[in-house]
A and B are shown apart, each in its own frame.
Chain A
């Protein structure tokens, strides 16, 4: 069946073939032929789960819990299950997934293929570090069991492999004890970017989750904002119940709300509201884990052209050089940045993983020619400073820039070629970034 798919940033839109198997024998009978790509919830910022002439295989019906071992703290699930469903299941049992990106509709398949992060990256690392084993189906190779002991290379390539090694069918994931059902959350105001980086580095030592919301649309005080810092609140009762979130993909017809005139005002109101009460207050765990719930229409506010999210891993030792250059760039181009956030990171670069010792700096900006010129200049600055752009976020990232920023770029391509020489698994993303070596 034909479906029109759009990336979350509304940047890339294609009419594609779509299939949604719901039985194992349908998976197992797939033959190598037309290009395929796995699809979870389809809420990625970039066109990673579809592409022109590619059949997307929706994995949403494979969403069952296969095993739970509370004593050894692991769960085995089919890859189409959502974070929200796992949260609902685990909370009452005093357990949780150690790493969770910001929306309950995101699936485990998407978390593995994107090797995503949460708000505690500086402690727990990336999602992939908690995957103990997985089952992968590839029409050429059949059903394969992968783990650090078995098919090691392919296991490594599938985590953060953008779905290009095949369909992730199920996975065993390590769990953490649920620290508490609610968090004590403070909003610590910061006056500029330098203070934001410094304060974030300081607060991460004493908090379980930290990130910053900053305002780069404010021309007189760019970078003003606040740090959200959360610690467990053991006194809180486990909140049971279902998580309801709105669909992220059905674009509403609201008129374009964000532009250079409105954004400074909207952001100022948002910041004022965010800093009205700074002291610790109790917030349900799901509200802090999934802050985008209830704000789903944000993604429509950029209108039809959509937006670009650029997420940059700035190494610790490059922060001092990065701040003045990014500020000068925003001033020079005069584009209003809608959203600016900051997270703390740890880790070592590997293949195409978005990680490293430093900070993740993210901006969302309306997709127009001025913004594209600014981001192209920022690409150069990043390359110079050794910063890397998140592949799963930025729809305009070019293969040349990706190659300069990721030392594992060539190795990834080479390994993929060995496993899938016919490029059976292909997406708009893999084509744009030229991830298929020939």
Chain B
């Protein structure tokens, strides 16, 4: 069997090369059993499937796995540090940004991409950075609160 390697959450996985033509979302969920990344639309419109590819937020439902080869993929499972939650995750909990939680992994990925580039965003900048992520439960209010709160923590 021909194989390819992909790097997810700092770990190398060797998978069947046939998966090259599958979406990264499919490989994460169905092959690697990393089911934290969600499928909300499958059409590049909702952000539930967001992962970081070389630090950039990407919708994995439309990214062919081939394109992720040789890059570093970070999924929601790779955000926390060992046993410690990332401050963004903590703030999502504390600020009530989580309801059904289906958008949360993608939201947290988008938030991380933002804060990694802009550690002190304004409320408007947060809203702008999250516009590719749909949430049907929260009206985004507490999600934006959480990102601002995390930014404060991370700068402290």
Partners in one complex: no
Residues of chain B having any CB pair with chain A under 8 Å: none
